[in-house]
Every structure is written in structure tokens, then in C-alpha cells.
């Protein structure tokens, strides 16, 4: 139990004992960290009890404060300010906490429970490389997975590969028409980039055909439907679903190029998956679910043979589940995948990391599964996030205006190198160490910038701002960590404090303000970690780690470690430094960000 929870429980118990005849509820007790302009560590808000107890806030505060000081060992003093009871925690609590936890490398971790959660993220299409738009999704999914693990959940990291459909056929048709047999090796291009080039090529060819047909007098909408290359792509999709050997062989060859490219990119990102699902394996299961829905009367078939569900009574509209020619749509395969995931792992929760553009789609998916009586429906949770743009605006794959993930990572690493060299901070590093340092700084800056904003909010990514040594960045936190590591290397002494001597020392010499602030902030980490897990929000950890780095810098600038007033103070400050570095590593590690020991 965190200290804030201990204070809340103590206040609630005291109120029940002081006022046994009143119906005070635990939820009515609000405890916050005391504002810095007032004395105290934690504050109990008194206003909720005024009407119930029919007393003035100062009277309630005095009775509650006296009771807490007289009946518990936690509090040293209290102060009442305008309806707030500010409580000061005894120094002995802080020193005991520090002694018990400063060497605990997994501080904040919860014991493993039996709650099984799948987090599905990335979910790329095999008609193009991973691009910058994917990166917020991938880093968010990876971070949430690790945060949930730290909160005791059994997590399965899943990736659903969108490896079939009309968009895949577009790349295939363009390759057949214009590639002259080109391969990644012959073209000297990464496989996923090569296939993506032909997806853009298809769009160019398609636009040219439409323009030509319109110039010949064809209506534009009719031209878009009847353009020969589009009809060829649609026919290829029908052949694929019919199992045509030549189409399937080309599909397997080009997807193989893409998978190899994806693997290289994921490896550079530092992300991995426990389970890979492929839409080519799940769409048939989706079709079976549709057939079952028809038999149950939940779905209906229109005259053209297409299958729909009517959701108008639920405030929505009719939703297509199967085309008239028998080919599936996105939601068909999503139905099959949702059921398969549940059957594979008997999930308590299935988290979909998908942009907010798909809010309606996930709402419909969950509703359809529920109407079909599928048990997987209850656990579906949509981790919806806002799109990320560059200062130049939004990116579009089919027009070739996207920034590839590989290029963005290379740009960030180059930017880290440029800034490090400009600052003259390359002395004492070997060439290999510098290469790793630039990668650590560049990728750390990229991940942190994309995670530091609440997922629900849209954002614009500014590469230079993301790597600012003095800004709200991973670079700032990494530098604070490296600074601590340098301090600890210089001290190079084992810390084996005597607990009884340590406690008696604090009775004679109180903790200084910044010493206590550091320990208080460290103690709050498990609560922040729990909050990040409950809200699926890595931004909470970003903010916490940044504040920890700020606090440490202030603490160290004000209080020397090597020239501390006495040995006990030196040991205290070293323990604070050791725990601060450990918590920085742990919190940033959950975000997939490495912490260098030298910068």
C-alpha cells in the first residue's frame, strides 16, 4: 500500500472512531500531496464532511489531527489551512522506506496474477513498409504491454498482419505490370520498401487511367469504378480467395519480402511480439461466424447476395459483413480474429491499439460479437489514440507522402550524433560506444516524445524539440541518469548502513526539504505505475520520470554527496541517488527506452 493510501485509510478510520454515528464513506476521503507553498506532506480535504458533521472545518481538522497524532506512529505534526488538514510524516518513516527499498531493482512491480490480457498493436499491411504513422501505435502498444506486466497481468503481445485484401492486390498488379521481375536484391531496396513503391505505382497508373477515361467523355465516378487496372486488382482478389496457384505464389513471394523488412524494422525499434496472427488465416473463420449469424437470424442477406446486420435500434446503421461476390471485408476477418484470440488464450481482456479513426469500427465489432453471443465481446477494450502528424502535415501512403519508420529512426540517430558532437561530449568513448549512444539517445527521444502525450490527444512531432537536452524529453532524463552513474562511480564505496544508527541519527538531524522531496517522490512510484496501467497511459510514467530527473538535479545542486556534512548524510544521499537511478531505469525501461551510464 502506498503512503497516500495509508494516510487515506488512517484518516477514514479516525473519522469513523471520532464520529461513530455518522455515515462517512471511504470514497468521501480525499488525500492529495500537500502543495509546496504549505508545510506538510499529505493533505486531507475537510469540505466533504462539513454538512454531515455540522462543524466548522477548523474544528474537524483539530479533532482529526489530534487523533491521528495520538493514535498512530505515522505523523509528526499537522497544520490546518482554510479547510485542509496538512499532515507531516515522521522522518523515521522516510528513512525506513529508503533503507528497505533503495536496492530493490523492481520497485513498484506487483505480484503476478491470473488476469490474462492480450495487447494487439502494430497490425501493418503487407503492401507498404512501416511508416511514421505506425510508430505511435507500436510504441504505445509495447509500453502498455510492459506496464500491464509490471502491474501483475499475464500479457500476450500480439500482432495482426493485414496480409490479404484489395490493397495487397494493388501492389501485386503494379509489380506484375511494371517491375520486370525486380526483387529486393536486384533493386538494392529493402523488401517492404520495394513492395510499397509498387503500391504507390498502382495509384499513379490508376489515376492516369481515370484521367484518360474522363477525357474521353466518361463520368468520373464511373471511370473510377471501371478503370481497367482497378478491375484487374478486384479480379486478382477473387482469384486469391478461390485459391488460384499463380496468384497465391506471387502473394507469398511479395509478402515474404515484406516480412523480412518488418523484422529488421521491429528489431531496430526494440519491440517484439509473442503471437502473430494473419488475416489470411482468420477471414475464413469470420465467414463461418457470418454464416452462423445468418442461421440465427441476427444477420440478413440482400438481393445482391451481400450479408448485413441492422444496428439502427442501437443508434447506428446497417453494416456490411460480406460482399455480394462472397469476398470478405475488414470486419469479417476481425470477427474471426477476435474469436480465435479468445479461444487461444481464454482472455479476460483484449486490448486493441487502434487510432481514433476506427472508434466506430471497434464499437460495431464489439456490438456484433455481443449480438452473436460470442464470449470474447465482453473483454474487448479499444485503446484509441489520436493521429500523429509532422509539421508539414498529414501523410498519405497511396500518394507516397509518408515518412518511412526506417528513415525517421535514421534521422533521429543522426540528429543525436549531430547534437552530441556539437556539444563536444564525445571524449572518452570508443567508436562502437558512440554508435550505441547515438542510437540510445535518438530512439529514446523518438519514443518518449510519442508517449509523453495522453494517447487520446492528437499531436505534432517535432524532431529537434524531441531531443532537446533541457526540455521535456528522454534526453533530459537520460542525462540525469548518466549524472547519477558518474557520481556513484566516483564514490565507489559499499553502502551498508546500520539501521538503528541511521534511525537515531534522523532523530537528531531532521531530513532537509529536498532530501524529503526526493524520498517522497520515489515512494509514489508504485502508485503512478498502477495509475498508468489502469488508464493504459504511458504518459503518466513520462511525466513522473521527468519530474524525478528535475528533482534530482535540484537536490544534487543544493546538497553535496562527496562533501556531505557527515557520514550518515553521505550514506543517505547516496541511497537516494541509487534509488533514483534505479527507478529512472525501471520506468523508462517500461517505455522501451535505454538509459546510458555515460553521456
Distance CA 474, CA 451 (A): 10
- List the CATH number of the domain containing 28: 3.30.1360.70
Q: Residue 571 has what pLDDT? A: 86
CA angle at 202 for the pair 198 and 208, rounded to the nearest 5°: 140
Q: How confident is the model at residue 424 (pLDDT cuts 50, 70, 90)?
A: confident
E strand or H helix at 385, and its extent?
Answer: strand 380-385
446 with 565, same domain? yes
522 with 419, same domain? yes
For residues 316 and 200, the answer to whether their CB atoms sit within 8 Å is no
Look at phi and psi of residue 165 and say left if phi exceeds 0, alpha if psi is from -120 to 50, else beta: left
For residues 190 and 184, the answer to whether their CB atoms sit within 8 Å is yes
- Is 476 part of any domain? yes
484 with 582, same domain? yes
List Cα–Cα distances, 86 to 48, 77, 511, 520, in angstroms. Answer: 16, 9, 18, 15
Taking 80 as the threshold, does the pLDDT of residue 244 lie above it?
yes
Q: Residue 492 has what pLDDT? A: 65
Distance CA 419, CA 478 (A): 15
Q: Quick one: what percent of the chain has pLDDT higher than 70?
A: 96
Q: Residues 526-561: pLDDT tens digits?
A: 999 999 999 999 999 999 999 999 999 999 999 999
Q: Cell 505490370 identifies what position?
A: 177
Three state DSSP letters for 185-209: HHHCCCHHHHHHHHHHHHHHHHHHH
Q: What is the DSSP letter of 27?
A: G
Q: Tell me the average pLDDT of the chain.
A: 93
Q: How confident is the model at residue 282 (pLDDT cuts 50, 70, 90)?
A: confident
Taking 90 as the threshold, does the pLDDT of residue 329 lie above it?
no
Distance CA 38, CA 537 (A): 30
- Is 433 part of any domain? yes
- List the CATH number of the domain containing 452: 1.10.730.10
Distance CA 560, CA 577 (A): 11
Taking 60 as the threshold, does the pLDDT of residue 494 lie above it?
no
Alpha helices (H) in 297-430, listed in sequence order: 330-345, 359-371, 405-422
Taking 90 as the threshold, does the pLDDT of residue 427 lie above it?
no
Q: Residue 390 has what pLDDT? A: 77
Check residues 568 and 79 and name the one with the higher pLDDT: 79
Q: Residue 499 has what pLDDT? A: 60
Distance CA 343, CA 340 (A): 5
Look at phi and psi of residue 328 and say left if phi exceeds 0, alpha if psi is from -120 to 50, else beta: beta
Q: How confident is the model at residue 401 (pLDDT cuts 50, 70, 90)?
A: low
C-alpha cell at position 307: 450479408
The counts of H helices and E strands in the chain are: 23, 14
Q: Residue 398 has what pLDDT? A: 44
Distance CA 12, CA 346 (A): 39
428 with 535, same domain? yes
**Residue 158 phi, psi dihedral angles, 5° rounding:** -120, 150
CA R_g for the chain:
30
- Is 554 part of any domain? yes
Beta-carbon contacts of 92 under 8 Å, excluding residues fewer than 6 positions away, are 503, 506, 507
Q: Residue 397 has what pLDDT? A: 44
554 with 453, same domain? yes
- Is 446 part of any domain? yes
77 with 173, same domain? no
Closest CA to 249 of 189, 176, 333: 176
Side-by-side strand order, sheet with 307-310: 300-301, 307-310, 318-322
- Is 278 part of any domain? no
Q: Which residues are registered as beta bridge partners of 382?
A: 352
Show which of 62, 89, 116 is a domain's final residue. 89
198 with 77, same domain? no
Check residues 504 and 445 and name the one with the higher pLDDT: 445
Mean pLDDT over 10-14 rounds to 96
- Is 137 part of any domain? no
Show which of 220, 245, 273 is a domain's final residue. 273
The total number of structural domains that make up the chain: 3
585 with 475, same domain? yes
Distance CA 40, CA 98 (A): 19
Q: Residue 428 has what pLDDT? A: 87
Mean pLDDT over 484-510 rounds to 72
Residue 412: count of CB within 10 angstroms of its CB: 23
Q: Residue 498 has what pLDDT? A: 59
Mean pLDDT over 422-439 rounds to 92
Distance CA 376, CA 340 (A): 9
List Cα–Cα distances, 491 to 256, 580, 594, in angstroms. Answer: 53, 16, 24
Tell me the three state secondary structure of residue 497: coil
For residues 172 and 163, the answer to whether their CB atoms sit within 8 Å is no
User: Up-side HSE of residue 205: CA atoms within 13 Å toward CB?
Assistant: 21
Taking 80 as the threshold, does the pLDDT of residue 73 lie above it?
yes
Range of the domain at 260: 164-273
Q: Residues 407-416: pLDDT tens digits?
A: 999 999 999 9
Q: Residue 327 has what pLDDT? A: 80
447 with 568, same domain? yes
Show which of 89, 122, 155 is a domain's final residue. 89
Taking 60 as the threshold, does the pLDDT of residue 495 lie above it?
no
- Is 579 part of any domain? yes
Q: Residues 384-398: pLDDT tens digits?
A: 999 888 776 554 444
Mean pLDDT over 283-292 rounds to 91
Which of these ranges, 323-332, 368-377, 434-443, has the smallest mean pLDDT? 323-332
- Is 129 part of any domain? no
Mean pLDDT over 159-173 rounds to 95
For residues 308 and 299, the answer to whether their CB atoms sit within 8 Å is yes
Distance CA 517, CA 462 (A): 33
Amino acid at each position: 500500500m502506498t503512503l497516500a493510501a495509508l494516510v487515506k485509510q488512517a484518516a477514514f478510520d479516525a473519522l469513523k472512531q471520532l464520529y461513530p454515528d455518522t455515515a462517512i464513506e471511504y470514497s468521501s476521503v480525499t488525500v492529495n500531496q500537500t502543495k509546496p507553498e504549505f508545510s506538510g506532506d499529505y493533505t486531507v480535504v475537510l469540505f466533504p464532511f462539513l454538512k454531515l458533521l455540522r462543524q466548522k472545518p477548523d474544528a474537524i481538522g483539530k479533532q482529526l489531527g489530534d487523533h491521528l497524532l495520538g493514535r498512530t506512529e505515522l505523523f509528526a505534526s499537522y497544520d490546518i489551512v482554510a479547510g485542509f488538514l496538512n499532515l507531516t510524516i515522521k522522518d523515521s518513516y522516510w528513512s525506513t522506506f529508503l533503507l528497505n527499498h533503495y536496492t530493490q531493482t523492481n520497485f513498484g512491480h506487483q505480484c503476478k496474477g491470473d488476469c490474462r490480457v492480450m495487447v494487439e498493436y502494430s497490425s501493418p499491411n503487407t503492401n507498404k513498409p512501416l511508416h511514421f504513422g505506425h510508430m505511435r501505435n507500436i510504441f504505445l502498444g509495447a509500453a502498455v504491454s510492459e506496464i500491464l506486466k509490471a502491474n501483475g497481468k499475464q500479457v500476450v503481445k500480439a500482432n495482426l498482419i493485414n496480409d490479404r485484401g484489395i490493397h495487397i492486390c494493388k501492389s501485386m498488379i503494379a509489380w506484375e505490370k511494371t517491375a520486370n521481375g525486380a526483387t529486393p536484391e536486384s533493386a538494392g531496396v529493402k523488401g517492404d520498401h520495394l513492395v510499397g513503391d509498387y503500391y504507390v505505382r498502382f495509384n499513379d497508373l490508376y489515376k492516369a487511367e481515370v484521367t484518360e477515361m474522363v477525357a474521353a467523355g466518361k463520368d468520373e465516378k464511373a471511370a473510377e469504378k471501371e478503370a481497367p487496372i482497378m478491375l484487374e486488382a478486384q479480379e486478382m482478389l477473387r482469384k486469391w480467395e478461390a485459391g488460384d496457384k499463380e496468384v497465391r505464389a506471387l502473394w507469398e513471394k511479395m509478402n515474404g519480402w515484406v516480412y523480412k523488412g518488418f523484422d529488421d524494422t521491429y528489431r531496430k525499434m526494440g519491440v517484439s511480439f509473442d503471437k502473430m496472427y494473419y488475416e489470411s488465416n482468420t477471414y475464413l473463420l469470420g465467414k463461418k461466424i457470418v454464416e452462423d449469424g445468418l442461421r440465427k437470424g441476427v444477420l440478413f442477406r440482400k438481393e445482391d447476395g451481400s450479408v448485413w446486420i441492422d444496428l439502427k435500434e442501437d443508434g447506428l446503421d446497417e453494416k456490411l459483413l460480406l460482399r455480394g461476390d462472397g469476398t470478405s471485408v475488414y470486419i469479417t476477418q476481425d470477427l474471426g480474429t477476435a474469436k480465435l484470440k479468445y479461444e487461444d488464450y481464454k482472455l479476460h481482456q483484449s486490448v486493441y491499439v487502434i487510432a481514433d479513426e476506427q472508434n466506430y469500427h471497434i464499437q460495431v465489432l464489439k456490438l456484433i460479437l455481443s449480438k452473436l453471443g460470442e464470449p470474447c465481446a465482453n473483454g474487448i477494450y479499444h485503446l484509441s489514440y489520436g493521429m500523429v502528424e509532422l509539421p508539414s502535415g498529414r501523410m498519405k501512403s497511396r500518394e507516397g507522402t509518408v515518412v518511412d519508420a526506417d528513415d525517421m529512426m535514421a534521422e533521429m540517430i543522426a540528429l543525436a550524433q549531430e547534437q552530441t558532437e556539437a556539444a563536444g561530449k564525445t571524449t572518452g568513448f570508443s567508436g562502437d560506444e558512440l554508435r550505441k549512444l547515438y542510437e540510445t539517445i535518438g530512439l529514446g527521444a523518438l519514443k518518449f516524445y510519442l508517449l509523453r502525450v495522453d494517447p487520446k490527444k492528437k499531436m505534432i512531432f517535432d524532431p529537434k524539440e524531441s531531443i532537446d537536452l533541457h526540455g521535456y524529453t528522454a534526453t533530459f532524463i537520460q542525462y540525469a541518469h548518466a549524472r547519477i552513474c558518474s557520481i556513484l562511480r566516483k564514490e565507489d564505496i559499499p553502502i551498508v548502513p546500520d539501521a538503528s544508527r541511521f534511525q537515531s541519527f534522523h532523530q537528531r538531524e531532521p531530513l532537509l526539504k529536498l532530501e524529503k522531496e526526493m524520498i517522497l517522490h520515489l515512494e509514489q512510484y508504485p502508485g503512478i505505475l498502477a495509475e498508468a496501467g489502469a488508464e493504459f497511459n504511458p504518459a503518466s510514467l513520462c511525466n513522473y520520470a521527468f519530474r524525478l530527473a528535475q528533482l534530482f538535479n535540484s537536490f544534487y545542486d543544493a546538497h553535496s554527496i562527496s562533501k556531505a556534512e557527515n557520514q550518515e548524510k553521505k550514506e543517505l544521499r547516496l541511497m537516494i541517488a541509487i534509488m533514483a537511478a534505479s527507478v529512472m531505469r525501471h520506468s523508462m525501461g517500461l517505455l522501451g527506452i535505454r538509459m546510458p551510464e555515460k553521456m
